[in-house]
Structure formats: structure tokens, C-alpha cells
A and B are shown apart, each in its own frame.
Chain A
Amino acid sequence: MRILLLLTLIISFNSIAEIRVPVRCEESVAQISTTNLIFFNSTEVIKVGECVGVELVKRGVMEALPKACDEVVEHKNNLLGALSLSKKEALQIGQCMGVINYVYDRYNDEKYNTSRYDSYYSKYKSYVYQCVTGMTAVKKLASTTYSLSSRSKIRDVLCEAELGTY
């Protein structure tokens, strides 16, 4: 009897397992959740995707970023345009573009922290990150096969350390 009660409790509380909406994006997610189809509000949905993507990357729980960036390439090559753009695809496009812009803002021209695996000589030179944006960044992310969950992993793909000019 007690096991049955426990089982029913566990089954009835299975909503805990869902990943919660980030607090910063709650309002905008609630705004777009009324309809399944999108047409005129596609930019709005893409903005929501950007917000959600940045929040997920900050927490290091980003899933399937290469797939999301595939969607950007697909939308660019599509003949039907907005007619074949679903809400999920728009959100994925927003996630990819948002993450790329966030990484660019965060790391471009920032100082490169030398790790202890670098050569002794390089520690006495100042290195800065040079990041890519736009379609080159999208293609770079789309072609990666391993998981890109955290900010630093995405940075390693998009940015390169170069000798600073100052």
C-alpha cells in the first residue's frame, strides 16, 4: 500500500524533470506561446531564441548547438522562405545567432589568459582573442560534431588567440 502511494506521488510530480524557463526570458516566452504557427512575428520569436540561448550557454546546459546552426543554413537555402519556417526552427535560429553574438561580445579583443601548457616564451607576450561572426561562425559551429555545452568550449571553436597590437 505504501509503495503504491509513493509510486502515485512520484508519477504525479514528474513535472520536476522539465528544464525550467530562464527567469530573464520568462515574459517573452509567455508572449509567443499562444500560437503554434508563426508568420509576421518571426523576428520576435528569433529574439526569444537569442535570449534563451544566451541563458543556456551561461549555465552550461546548451544542447544541440550544431543542429540549431544547421537550421540557419537551411533557412538561408530555402526556396519557400517564411512559409516553411516553424516555431521550433525560428527558436533554433535565434539560439545559434544569439550564442555567436554573445561569444563575440564577451571575448573579442579580450586578453588571453595563458594556461600552464603554453610555452614559456608566450607567457611574456600579450595575446588577445579574435572571434568570427556571421555565416563563417555559423558554418564553423554547424560542422562540429562534439557537444558544445559551455561558454568556453564555444569560445575555443569561434575564437583564436593572436598577438596583441598594444
Chain B
Amino acid sequence: MEASQPVSDDEYSSETPTTTFANKDQVEPEITSEPKNTIKPEFIPSEIEFLNRHRGKLRLCDPKGVYEFRHIQQTWLQSSLQLVTMLVSIACMVSLYYLYYQGSKEIMAGVGEVSNLIWVDAFEMFMIVGIIVMTIKRLGKQAKQHPQKRYRLAMLANSFNRMWFNYFRLLLVVLILLIAANIIKYPEVALINFDYFEEGAVADLANAIFTLIVIFICFRAFRFCGKELTA
């Protein structure tokens, strides 16, 4: 506090010499009030409260927060909640992909059952599984040196939940866009006709873009799994 006062005084005088010369009486209270602002921000009580609040917070889809507060031990309640939500989100994703796989099979006259899957779908599946397996491997390597016991579970649960959360939001946005496009294209039809959006060159391109976005979401969600835990 003592060291900072003369520095600020010098700065003030060097920058605006005309104002100090004109009205010195108004300058005086400003200089006296300055030392209060130079308290280090770590010691302000509201910031300490903020930090404490974030230390003990329950994190469900926030891998970045788990990584930044990695020295904090997760409580049993938090860990069990994370486990349950992780299982739910994994079940949602797996069942969604299973339904998609089942729906891709169609019966064609004269041939029997044929699938509607394309290489873009296979690429999406391959990339998602690859990213998840690689990051789990790297997380296992990193967590060996880490003292926190339930860090691995917390990190995985947050990553899976984050991925499912973002994926669900993307699905909602796509659904709303499709319904809007449907209403604009066929205003007189009450039922929603999705067949139009499944056929055609534009639909294939949109499917490929959707696949790229899903892979990006997966990569973003699992990005903190393989980060170093030494510091």
C-alpha cells in the first residue's frame, strides 16, 4: 500500500499537469481514496465468497470447471449424482443411435431388407467412438499421478453430460428449423412431412454438415479429459 501510493501520484502529475494546477482542492480527496482500490483482488471478501461458492459447487455438465478446480475433492453426494446423470446421458445417446440404426432398415420389394446407411454415418460413429476411447485412455494415464480419487468419474460424467446437452440442443434447433421450413413450404398441410427433407441432394449435404457439427461437439466436450494434471 505504501509503495503503490507515490507511483500513482507520479502518474497523475505527469499525465495531467494542467488539471492539478487549476484546482488542487478537488484533487486531494481522489489521492486519499486511491489506496482502497489498490487492495489485491484476491482479498476482497466478495471475491473470496465467489471462489468458495465455486469450489463446493455441484458440476454436472462443466468439464472446464472440473479441470480448473481439480484439487478439490468431490463429495459422495456429488459423485453419485454425477454417476447417475452420466448413465442417463449415455443411455440417451446409445438409444438414439440404436433407433437411427433400426429406422435405417427398409423392406424393398424383390430384394428384402436393405439399409439406408451411408459412409457419412459410419464416419460419424467411428469418430465419436474413437474420440471417447482415446480420451479415456489419456485420462487414465493422467489420473495415475493425481491424488484426487473421484476425479476420473467427475471428469467423464461432466464430459458425457456436456456432449448430450449440446447434442440435444442441436437436435431441438434442427427440429424447429425443419418445422418452420415445412410450414413455409406446405402451409395448407397440417401434418409435418419429413419425407421431403430426407430425399434430395441438399438433404445429403445437410446431413454431412450435421455430422461434422456432432463430431465437433464431441471433441469439445472431451477436450479436458486428456489435459495434464501436474500443476
Within the assembled complex, what's the spacing in Å between the Cα atoms of A47 and B173?
Answer: 40
Closest-CB distance, A31 to chain B (whole angstroms): 12
Q: Which residues of A contact B116 (CB under 8 A)?
A: 86-89
Stretch at the interface among B32-40, B45-53, B117-125: B117-125
With A37-B117, A37-B119 as contacts: A74 and B201 at CB distance below 8 Å:
yes
Q: Which residues of A contact B178 (CB under 8 A)?
A: none
Give 27 CB contacts A-B under 8 Å: A18-B107, A21-B111, A22-B110, A29-B111, A37-B117, A37-B119, A39-B119, A48-B111, A52-B111, A63-B109, A74-B201, A74-B204, A77-B201, A78-B201, A78-B204, A78-B205, A80-B204, A80-B208, A82-B119, A83-B120, A84-B119, A84-B208, A86-B104, A86-B115, A86-B117, A88-B106, A88-B114
Q: Which residues of B contact A74 (CB under 8 A)?
A: 199-201, 204
Check B112 for interface membership: any CB of A closer than 8 A: yes
Q: Which residues of A contact B107 (CB under 8 A)?
A: 18
Check A36 for interface membership: any CB of B closer than 8 A: yes
**B109–A79 CB distance below 8 A:** no
Q: Which residues of A contact B112 (CB under 8 A)?
A: 18, 21, 29, 33
Within 8 A of A (CB), among B18-65: none
- Set A21, A48, A84, A87: member contacting B204, Cβ < 8 A: A84
Check A157 for interface membership: any CB of B closer than 8 A: no
Chain A, interface size: which category? 35 or more
Check A56 for interface membership: any CB of B closer than 8 A: yes
B-side interface mostly: mixed
Within the assembled complex, what's the spacing in Å between the Cα atoms of A105 and B201?
Answer: 31
Check A25 for interface membership: any CB of B closer than 8 A: yes
Within the assembled complex, what's the spacing in Å between the Cα atoms of A18 and B119?
Answer: 28
Q: Name the CB-closest residue of B to A64.
A: B109
**A83–B111 CB distance below 8 A:** no
Q: Which residues of B contact A84 (CB under 8 A)?
A: 118-120, 204, 207-208
Check B108 for interface membership: any CB of A closer than 8 A: yes
Within 8 A of B (CB), among A20-59: 21-22, 25, 29, 33, 36-37, 39, 48-49, 52-53, 55-56
Check A85 for interface membership: any CB of B closer than 8 A: yes
**A36–B109 CB distance below 8 A:** no
Q: Which residues of A contact B201 (CB under 8 A)?
A: 74, 77-79
